[in-house]
């Protein structure tokens, strides 16, 4: 077998089941090996930003890495923004980046570039294979690196000759790294703080935002009165009826300050203290009260879920968690179609077990206020602020077989709309809701907030998408996705309700 | 004035007239300054890969840098692939990349990243402003760096507080760097070689591929019998009736070897010896005959045009250049619509002074065989092999006021289709021809060439865009560009002929 086949067999043997890719000439031996090796699903994306975002969505849900297959430095470069988001999400991903043959590098052909340089800012692990004989072992190391708790990006650069020359054999899977165990001192310290009677907030991120961790946090809250919060942009949070409700930190600095007000102790579980998303003149970056004590129960690489369960034991937590409510879906609202009513429609129809890929930006909030009482679901946020995550993450999260609702602002959706084609090709069960306000609406708010003086028409034109208006029905159907436009609550409720009852990709443009 | 305004005034004062951008919060002070400073046109792109490609197209035609305005690391990252192409084209570009305020960096907010790291692989010059007081001077240095011969990418990182804090004044423009003068020794050496009677090829790249340099080369050829050639992917080449015809090096290694056969002396004018685009098992990377003597008349940073003119003097070149022919447009062909007949239609209708932005890939060759005899035009090639250059480069090249024909394969066009929206918004005179073969056709060829054994259906599916078929008429009209589909030569001739007679953006999908 050649190096490419040894790598593919190693990846499969190490538990990697899906490869999202957009290959070129230097990856053709890897592509050709796909028919000789069972166990790897390959999903084509028409742009690498779509490819890496799909791997992020898949990894967040599957809790194991997908591979990506990217074409030299520029192919990797196109995927970097969504790898930035994935890095912030701590999603495990193994990038396979083809490169020129080792002996060809010296000729500085047009596609030659500093692939290492492109990879480094987003990758916790980068390696370029030096020989076909080592590719398999390198692949096993890449998977292990990606699985390092809480999840990392590993980038393996594969020079073309290391793919086509003869290899020995696949490499055995390396042991899966486990999250570090939290020390009993950290648990005792947090327990003492919680029992002190001071106002305490548990701020949680990572795997502890799933049912088990939340249940432990809810039991702690029932006994100690602690608040339970998560970041504005938590990678994945399990929400809905029957689950412990989590307060989500708001977006703007002054809202965060208000949210944190009175907090005397902040107990961090895989999270960092909240800071302002951007800096603004004369507004704080640091949003925790100055006299608040900060304790780390679990760092991001530690097992926050087990730590919360141990903490619950030490504080002799109640059996029943606090903040658990029954299913109470809102009715379909009356009135004009706007982010609030659209969100209520979505909350009404969302089926149990759905995934929300949320890049709704200024228009996405309508559903959140109902989050605790609607059908149990997973919420995936835009973790790194690089817009253009929502559609690809929805696409990857839908693999192999989940219902996904993607909420998206129109500005950000244009970044990686190519992922819609993959949804059609793979017949994925994704309903995309485009909030078409014809603007970078958040920037109109930000332009005022940054104190930029008295902006004129040229400035405002840079935030405006009216000229010409994007037609999302045409864009989506041009890529094979059934699409409709809704200009009223009734129309949206009919379209969205139908989408929730049926399978397959579709898109609804909500005209705001 | 604040730092942003001092920078904007400095850029305008340094001759930068256009800013292609997609700003976010951290760039709002720069955006707000646009209404206070005259002389800067701003062009919005809906994705940064479109933005940087537009700056490349503009720079190749205007011979001076545009600015880009990009949003932190991920905004820059999205633009990297087309900056890779621009680096290969030696296009002058000044990137302005907003970043978090200097004091905010320590909080590692979601959008924080290694901006320097992203910039370095494509930038000859990178600097992060440390103070509002120095931003103006940094901007002047960035423009000077971009203009370093033959043209470079300069990236200025602008932390938000250096934009919003008080500055002193704009900085004066720095002297424009001139290309280095070729030594008389290099000219004499080349002259002696040309007069030796050995078979000689002049391989030209850069500004010398415009009329003046080509005319000198044609005069040298008339006297010495030298061949005149350019790279497969020359950034810009002036072609057409009345101009000296240049042989274009073919794409595949074995074709290049055939093309170079018998060459005893290779005289390089801003070019490098031709190499294979990719490496292939058992095929050469190096394509120049082993016993060929290689002489550098002008390095890329030197004035190749002046060197050719001086060389013409020394060899006592004829007054009239060789390889100049009259206008001889091909007729509109009969027969089925294919890349050859489509190319002939384009050759027939192409108006004088047009620009061809060529990412036609496997389908683009149809027009080249007529290039020497059709209306004089500029040809812009895909310089760095990073697909998704054609539409943005066409968009930027059309600024302020040129007719552009963009030839594009369907696979590559999906990468940066967002640039079509900018064409509609700015009413640019661009006609895009999509060669819709529903595949990455080049990869079907490459899959066989790389000797990847016996590929199966999974491999072939990764190169195939049939499922579902892209509808370019919907995609383009979804972004406000008038679009039609042609399934016959007659239909294409009617649509393309009409597009050449009228102004404004349109797209024609050529069904192959």
Helix (H), strand (E), coil (C) string for A251-289: CCHHHHHHHHCCCCEEEEEECCCCECCCCCCCCCCECCC
Query: Was domain B3-164 assigned CATH 3.40.50.970?
Result: yes
pLDDT recorded at residue B136: 98
Paired tokens of A357? 């890929």
Q: How far apart are CA A360 and CA A474, in angstroms?
A: 20
Q: Is a pLDDT exceeding 90 seen at residue A362?
A: no
Rounded to the nearest integer, the mean pLDDT of chain A is 96
Distance CA A251, CA A231 (A): 9
Q: What is the DSSP letter of B198?
A: S
Asked whether B117 and A117 are in contact (CB, 8 A), the reply is: yes
3-state SS class at A307: helix
Angle at B159 between CA B155 and CA B163, to 5 degrees: 100
pLDDT band at A372 (very low <50, low <70, confident <90, very high): very high
> Quick one: how many helices (H) and strands (E) in chain A?
20, 18
Phi, then psi, of A126 in degrees rounded to 5: -135, 135
CA nearest neighbour of B398 among B46, B11, B53: B53
Q: Indicate the residue of A111, A114, A384 with minimum beta-carbon distance to B121.
A: A114
Of the candidates A26, A98, A343, which has an alpha carbon nearest to the alpha carbon of residue B276?
A26
Given an 8 Å threshold on Cβ–Cβ distance, is A414 in contact with B421? yes
Between CA B125 and CA A373 the distance in angstroms is 54
Contact B468 A281 (CB under 8 A): no
> What's the rounded mean pLDDT across residues B401-429?
96
Residues in B closer than 8 angstroms to A276, CB to CB, are 104, 107, 109
Spatial contact of A182 and A213, defined as CB atoms under 8 Å apart: no
pLDDT band at B440 (very low <50, low <70, confident <90, very high): confident
Closest CA of chain B from A259, distance in Å: 18
Closest residue in chain B to residue A163, using alpha carbons only = B452
> Both tokens of residue A88?
């912030």
Of A208-217, A437-446, B106-115, B210-219, where does mean pLDDT reach its minimum? A437-446
Q: What is the pLDDT of residue B452?
A: 82
Mean pLDDT of A153-158: 98
Residue B464, Cβ neighbours under 10 Å: how many? 17
Compute and round to an integer the Cα radius of gyration of chain A.
24
Report, as an integer, the average pLDDT of A306-333: 97
- What is the band of B450 on the pLDDT scale with cuts at 50, 70, 90? confident
pLDDT band at A493 (very low <50, low <70, confident <90, very high): very high
Taking only the tens place, the pLDDT of each residue in A85-113 is 999 999 999 999 999 999 999 999 999 99
Element of type H or E holding B308 = helix B304-314
Distance between CA atoms of residues B138 and B127, nearest Å: 8
Residue B322 to chain A, least CA–CA distance (Å): 30
Considering CB atoms only, which of A278, A447, A456 is closest to B100?
Answer: A278
The phi and psi torsions of A417 (rounded to 5 degrees) equal -60, -20
- Residue B154: which H helix or E strand, with range? strand B153-159
Q: Report strand pairing: A247-248 vs A227-230.
A: parallel
Q: Which of B253, B242, B245, B191 is nearest to B218 (CA)?
A: B245
Facing B109 at nearest CB: one of A29, A276, A459:
A276
Chain-chain contact of B478 with A480 (C-beta, under 8 angstroms): no
Mean pLDDT of A154-176: 98
Quote the minimal CA–CA distance from B6 to chain A in Å.
Answer: 14
Question: pLDDT band for position B130 (50/70/90)?
Answer: very high
Six token digits for residue A143:
């998977």
pLDDT confidence of residue B176: 97
Give the distance from CA B125 to its chain's centroid.
Answer: 20
- CB–CB contact A107 B275 (8 Å): yes
Q: Which of B31, B121, B468 sits opposite A462 (nearest CB)?
A: B31
Q: Tell me what the pLDDT averaged over chain B comes to.
A: 96
H or E element, residue B306: helix B304-314
Instruction: Name chain A contacts of B45, Cβ cutoff 8 Å.
Output: none
Q: Are A364 and A339 in contact (CB under 8 A)?
A: yes
Task: Indicate yes or no: CB of A478 within 8 angstroms of CB of B480.
Answer: no
Distance from C-alpha of A153 to C-alpha of A95, rounded to nearest angstrom: 7
Token couple for A300: 């991001």
User: Inter-chain contact A114–B104, Cβ cutoff 8 Å?
Assistant: no
* Minimum-distance CB partner of B113 among A107, A121, A383: A121
Q: For residue B411, how far is the Cα from the chain centroid?
A: 18
- In this complex, do A452 and B80 lie within 8 Å of one another by their Cβ atoms? no
B153, B85 in Cβ contact below 8 A?
Answer: no
Q: Let me know: does A426 contact A402? Beta carbons within 8 Å.
A: no
pLDDT of residue B156: 98
- Selection from A429-443, B155-169, B442-456 with the highest mean pLDDT: B155-169
Distance CA A104, CA B285 (A): 6
Q: What superfamily does domain A184-314 belong to in CATH? A: TPP-binding domain (3.40.50.1220)
Q: Is A320 exposed, middle or buried (0-12, 13-18, 19+ CB in 10 A)?
A: exposed
pLDDT at B444: 87
- For B102, name the nearest residue in chain A, comparing CA atoms only: A279
Residue count of chain A: 512
CATH 3.40.50.970 in chain A, residues?
A: 3-164, 339-511
Asked if residue B453 has pLDDT above 90, the reply is no
Which chain B residues have a beta carbon less than 8 Å from that of A385? 72, 74, 109-111
ipTM above 0.85, yes or no: yes
Whole-number Å distance between alpha carbons of B284 and B278: 10
* Contact across the interface for A100 and B279, Cβ inside 8 Å: yes
Tokens 């604040």 identify what position?
Answer: B2
Nearest Cα to Cα of residue A483 among A504, A469, A512, A468: A504
Q: What average pLDDT score do residues B255-268 get?
A: 98
Which among A308, A325, A309, A304 has a CA at the least distance from the CA of A243? A325
Angle in degrees, 0-180, between the axes of helices A390-397 and A48-62, rounded to the nearest 10: 50
Best residue in B33, B36, B81 to probe A by mutation, most A CBs within 10 Å? B81
Choose the weakest-confidence range: A39-48, A446-455, A472-481, B184-193.
A446-455
- CATH 3.40.50.1220 residue ranges for chain A: 184-314
Region A131-157 average pLDDT: 98
Q: Of all helices (H) and strands (E), which one includes residue A8?
A: helix A3-13
- Integer Cα distance of B327 and B309 in angstroms: 26
What are the chain B neighbours of A277 within 8 Å (beta carbons)?
109-111
In percent, how much of chain B has pLDDT > 90? 94
Number of H helices, E strands in chain B: 20, 18
CA distance A317 to chain B (A): 34
Of A279, A440, A458, the CB nearest to B34: A458
Tell me which residue in B32, B73, B122 faces A459 most closely, judged by beta carbons.
B32
Q: How far, in Å, CA of B15 to CA of A446, rounded?
A: 30
Measured between alpha carbons, how far is A136 from A167 in angstroms, rounded to an integer? 8
Which chain B residues are within 8 Å of A23, Cβ to Cβ? 443, 462
Identify the CA nearest to B31 among candidates A463, A279, A466. Answer: A463
Cα A6 from Cα A133, distance rounded (Å): 9
Provide, as residue numbers in chain B, all residues whose Cβ is less than 8 Å from the Cβ of A384: 74, 110-111, 113
Signed CA dihedral, A135, A140, A141, A142: sign only: positive
Quick check: A118 and B114 CB within 8 A? no
Radius of gyration of chain B (CA): 24
Position B333 scores a pLDDT of 97
Mean of pLDDT values over A16-34:
96
CB-nearest partner of B446 from A25, A386, A455: A25
Nearest to A450 among B28, B73, B440 (CB): B28
Q: Helix/strand/coil (H, E, C) string of B64-111?
A: CCEEEEEEHHHHHHHCHHHHHHHHHHCCCEEEEEEECCHHHHHHCCCC
Task: Please give the pLDDT value at position B278.
Answer: 96
Q: What's the CA gap between B508 and B473, in Å, rounded?
A: 8
CA distance A312 to chain B (A): 31
Which ranges constitute the DSSP H helices of A327-418? 339-349, 390-397, 410-413
| B75's tokens | 């905004």
A44–B461 CB contact, under 8 Å: yes
**How close A465 comes to chain B (CA, Å)?**
9
Backbone angles phi, psi at A404, to 5 degrees: -125, 135
Beta strands in A129-187 (DSSP E): 153-159
* A411–B46 C-beta distance less than 8 A: yes
Which of A39, A274, A278, A465 is the best residue to mutate to test the B interface, defined by the most B CB atoms within 10 Å of its own CB?
A278
Q: How many residues does chain B have?
A: 512
For residue B419, CA distances in Å to A300, A420, B49, B108 come to 40, 18, 9, 32
Q: Are B349 and B258 in contact (CB under 8 A)?
A: no
Res. A218: pLDDT tops 80: yes
Nearest Cα to Cα of residue A267 among A324, A195, A215 = A195
A268, β-bridge pairs: A203, A296
Distances (CA, A) of A458 to A391, A441, B304: 30, 16, 41
SS3 letters for A451-494? CCCCCCHHHHHCCECCCCCCCHHHHHHCCCCEEEEECCHHHHHH
Distance from CA of B49 to the nearest CA of A (A): 8
The architecture in CATH of the region A339-511 reads 3-Layer(aba) Sandwich (3.40)
Tokens of A511: 């005209």
DSSP A133: T
Contacts with A111 from chain B: Cβ below 8 Å: 277-278, 384-386
Q: What is the 3-state secondary structure (H, E, C) of B379-431?
A: EEECCCCCCCCHHHHHHHHCCCCCCEEEEEEHHHHHHHCCHHHHHHHCCCCEE
Handedness of CA B106, B109, B110, B112 (dihedral sign): negative
């Amino acid at each position: 077998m050649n190096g490419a086949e040894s790598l593919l067999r190693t990846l499969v043997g190490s538990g990697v089941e899906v490869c999202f890719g957009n290959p070129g000439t230097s990856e053709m031996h890897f592509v050709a090996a796909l028919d000789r090796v069972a166990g790897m699903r390959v999903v084509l994306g028409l742009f690498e930003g779509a490819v890496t975002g799909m791997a992020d969505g898949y990894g967040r849900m599957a809790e194991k890495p997908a591979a990506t297959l990217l074409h030299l430095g520029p192919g990797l470069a196109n995927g970097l923004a969504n790898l930035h988001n994935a890095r912030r999400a701590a999603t495990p991903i193994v990038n396979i980046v083809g490169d020129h043959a080792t002996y060809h590098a010296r000729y500085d052909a047009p596609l030659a570039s500093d692939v290492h340089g492109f990879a480094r800012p987003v990758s916790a692990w980068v390696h370029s294979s030096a020989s076909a004989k080592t590719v398999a072992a390198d692949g096993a190391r890449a998977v292990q690196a990606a699985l390092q708790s809480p999840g990392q990006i590993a980038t393996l650069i594969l020079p073309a000759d290391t793919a086509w020359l003869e290899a020995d054999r696949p490499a055995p899977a390396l042991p899966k790294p486990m999250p570090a165990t939290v020390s009993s001192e950290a648990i005792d310290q947090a327990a003492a703080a919680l029992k002190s009677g001071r106002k305490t907030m548990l701020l949680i991120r990572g795997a502890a935002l799933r049912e088990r961790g939340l249940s432990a946090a809810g039991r702690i809250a029932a006994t100690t009165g602690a608040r339970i919060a998560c970041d504005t942009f938590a990678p994945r949070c399990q929400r809905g009826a029957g689950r412990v409700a989590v307060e989500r930190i708001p977006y703007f600095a002054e809202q965060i300050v208000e949210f944190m007000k009175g907090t005397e102790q902040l107990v961090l579980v895989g999270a960092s203290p909240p800071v302002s998303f951007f800096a603004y003149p004369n507004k704080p970056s640091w949003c925790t009260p100055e006299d608040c004590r900060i304790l780390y129960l679990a760092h991001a690489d530690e097992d926050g879920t087990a730590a919360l369960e141990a903490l619950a034991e030490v504080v002799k937590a109640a059996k029943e968690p606090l903040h658990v409510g029954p299913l109470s879906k809102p009715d379909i609202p009356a009135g004009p179609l706007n982010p609030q009513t659209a969100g209520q429609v979505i909350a009404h129809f969302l089926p149990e077990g759905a995934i929300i890929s949320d890049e709704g930006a200024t228009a996405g909030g309508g559903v959140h206020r109902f989050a605790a009482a609607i059908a149990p679901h997973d919420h995936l946020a835009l973790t790194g602020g690089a817009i253009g995550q929502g559609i690809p993450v929805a696409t990857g999260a839908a693999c192999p077989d989940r219902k996904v609702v993607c909420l998206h602002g129109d500005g950000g959706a244009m970044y990686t709309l190519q992922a819609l084609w993959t949804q059609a090709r793979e017949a994925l069960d994704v309903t995309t809701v485009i909030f078409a306000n014809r603007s970078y609406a958040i920037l109109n708010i930000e332009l005022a907030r940054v104190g930029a003086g008295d902006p004129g028409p040229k400035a405002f034109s840079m935030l405006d998408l009216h000229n010409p208006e994007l037609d999302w029905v045409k864009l989506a159907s041009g890529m094979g996705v059934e699409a409709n436009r809704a200009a009223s609550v009734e129309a949206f409720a009919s379209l969205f309700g139908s989408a929730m009852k049926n399978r397959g990709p579709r898109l609804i443009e909500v005209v705001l």
